[in-house]
Structure 1
Amino acid sequence: MDEVQIAKQGCMRCGNNDNALDDHSVLNASCNLESREEKLNLKVIGVGLCRTGTYSLRGVLNMLGFPCYHYSEMRKNNQINLWLDILSGKSEDWKSAFSGYMATVDFPSITVYRKLMELCPEAKIILTVRDTQTWYESVKDTVYRAYNTPGDQSPSQLVLSRLKMWEGLFGGRFEDREYAMSVYEAHVESVKNYVPAHKLLVFNLKEGWLPLCNFLGVPLPPADTPFPHLNKTAQFIGCRFKEA
């Protein structure tokens, strides 16, 4: 099956097929999930850095019945200023940020994953990983390129990504390849050391459904369901830099 067919299968917990891969709407009346409650109720916290398969994991979690927050959701929900306030310490309005979601992956939530673990102590933690060198090339050719492309992001987005990603996490040295790769590897080790082993899944997308479904305690999808690999480098470049 292709990705369109996968999407048509819908959410494996509620059966709703409204944009199952790309946008599991939390307003669907037929989806009887705890995530619709107005409280912070994260069941899954993704802590892998961007370009480790976080967008694919988002799609998979949506399919498995865990409506998932991601950088793209922040943009869609017009929450950039909310996150600027949260990350600067001006606000702790976590409920507004994650209202209706049962999972979160990618930036900006990865920068506060320890706080989210405190707020949601029963949440399971997924650390997506990939080869360090291919990770660096992917980031350089996609999100870092977007950051440096005039007009690609709003002023607020630029401030947020600069403060917490490029100057924060990478100390303004992302273009130093060896340093950036060392930051990536240090992040992986930091997560492994911080998160209790029984709550952590270190996950490479190449491993597919079995370890992920076992970890989450959900049934495997039908045998002919391919594991989605979304937002690959070529796709990102084709969508964001069509005139480049």
Structure 2
Amino acid sequence: RLHLQLGSWCLDGSFSVDCHSPEGLAAARTNRTGLKVILPGAGQTGTTSVILALRELGIRAWHADEFSVFAKKAMVDEYRPRQWIKFVSRCRMEAISLEPIMDLFPLAFYTSSQAKVVLTWRPYESWLKSLRENAFKEKRLGYIVSPLTRAAYVVPWVEAWDALTGQIERVRREAHPFVGKGVSVASLLYRAVCNGYTWPKNRIKDRGTRKIKATEEAYLGLMNEVRTHTPAHRLLEFDVRRHGWAEFARFLGVPAPPAGTPFPHPRGKHARTNEPIFENNPLIGGTVWFLLAVMHAANYFLMAAALQIALAAVRAAVGGLPVPGRAEAKRCGERAVV
């Protein structure tokens, strides 16, 4: 069982719980990652589509949705290669989309000798438009999500639930990508409460897509850096709007899915949020938001009850003080006049 650790529950578990399944511990190594595919492209270039395509081919592929939850330490840029390799191999990653930590591409590439590189891209003007639309969606959703997730830090409801059931600990140890059996109330609740995407130590605002600051020179510079590091036979430049299974499967050296199988496109222009995991699993995702809302309401009830108890205690203390009688008060007044 996990102990109740209040605010440190998410962080401390990253050292001792996340990806610490028997399979993960057996896979941990320090000499090479075991990655088969690396996606170094910026956000909003089709990285999610390619990750889903890799999963359809049976590859254990991770996006920021996964490593910001189960492999938070892999996002930090101050670890030595052997440490980073251990984080990645212990989580049994076979493919990774580096966004928003694209600056780690040289580290990922040179510690993964067998990995192929899929560079997703789109014309700059199209990318910039998509980036701005996505930023609006994230900001709009944040007004709702942030207060709900913070409620879990006021009173450790989630930790208490896990201490009783062990459900979230199992999710953390197994660390399945958020697809198929990896999508459950326990896994999405943990993701909502302990997502490390914006943790200060990651310095996300100074790295990756945000470091580019939507300038064309930096956007093109990222792609040129990937081309410089990667031999031609290990690089596929992939435009999800024009390319499909044929080019993708040929590059990876695997059979293509049956004819007529659509290439994944989970983030449509009509999506209401930038959370495809929740949006594509409305029943489970809705249950998670409902539970967080209940926790939020329970916090207010507890605070109101605590204030009422404190106020009653103050009133009782004040009411217990001796009050001078009328005669005594009159004598005090006469002495004051004299």
TM-score (norm 2): 0.51
- 1:42 matched to 2:32: no
Within the candidate set 86, 94, 103, 1:95 is matched to: 86
Cα gap change, 1:130/1:222 in structure 2, threshold over 3 Å: closer, same or farther? Answer: same
Q: Tell me, yes or no, if the aligned pair for 1:128 and 1:202 is still in contact at 8 Å.
A: yes
Q: Partner of 2:207 in structure 1?
A: 164
Task: Give deviations 1:194-233, integer Å, cap 9, x for gaps.
Answer: 2111111111112101111011000011002111111234
Cα gap change, 1:37/1:158 in structure 2, threshold over 3 Å: closer, same or farther? Answer: closer
State the distance in 1 between where 2:138 and 2:220 align. 23
Q: Partner of 1:141 in structure 2?
A: 133
- 1:194 matched to 2:194: no
Bigger helix fraction: 2
Q: Partner of 1:83 in structure 2?
A: 74
What letter corresponds to residue 121 of structure 1 in structure 2? S
Report the aligned-residue RMSD.
3.2
Q: Tell me, yes or no, if the aligned pair for 1:69 and 1:101 is still in contact at 8 Å.
A: yes
Report % sequence identity. Answer: 24
Q: Tell me, yes or no, if the aligned pair for 2:42 and 2:100 is still in contact at 8 Å.
A: no
Shift of 1:94: 2.7
Q: Tell me, yes or no, if the aligned pair for 2:134 and 2:274 is still in contact at 8 Å.
A: no
Cα gap change, 1:200/1:138 in structure 2, threshold over 3 Å: closer, same or farther? Answer: same
What letter corresponds to residue 110 of structure 1 in structure 2? M
Cα gap change, 1:156/1:201 in structure 2, threshold over 3 Å: closer, same or farther? Answer: closer
Cα gap change, 1:96/1:106 in structure 2, threshold over 3 Å: closer, same or farther? Answer: closer
State the distance in 1 between where 2:272 and 2:47 align. 13
SS at match of 1:45: strand
Q: Partner of 2:245 in structure 1?
A: 209
Cα gap change, 1:199/1:60 in structure 2, threshold over 3 Å: closer, same or farther? Answer: same
Q: Tell me, yes or no, if the aligned pair for 1:71 and 1:107 is still in contact at 8 Å.
A: yes
Q: Tell me, yes or no, if the aligned pair for 1:147 and 1:158 is still in contact at 8 Å.
A: no
Unaligned runs of 5+ in 1: 1-26, 30-35
Aligned residue-pair number: 198
SS at match of 1:126: strand
SS at match of 1:220: coil
SS at match of 2:66: helix
Once the two structures are superposed, the pairs formed by residues 1-244 of structure 1 within 5 Å of their partners are 37-39=27-29, 40-77=33-70, 79-80=71-72, 82-84=73-75, 86-89=76-79, 92-98=83-89, 99-143=91-135, 146=138, 149=142, 151=146, 157=198, 159=200, 160=202, 161-165=204-208, 169-170=211-212, 174=213, 180-205=215-240, 206-235=242-271, 237=273, 239=275
Q: Tell me, yes or no, if the aligned pair for 2:137 and 2:273 is still in contact at 8 Å.
A: no
SS at match of 1:234: coil
SS at match of 2:43: coil
SS at match of 2:221: helix
What letter corresponds to residue 248 of structure 2 in structure 1? L
SS at match of 1:157: coil
Shift of 1:238: 7.0
Q: Tell me, yes or no, if the aligned pair for 1:141 and 1:233 is still in contact at 8 Å.
A: no
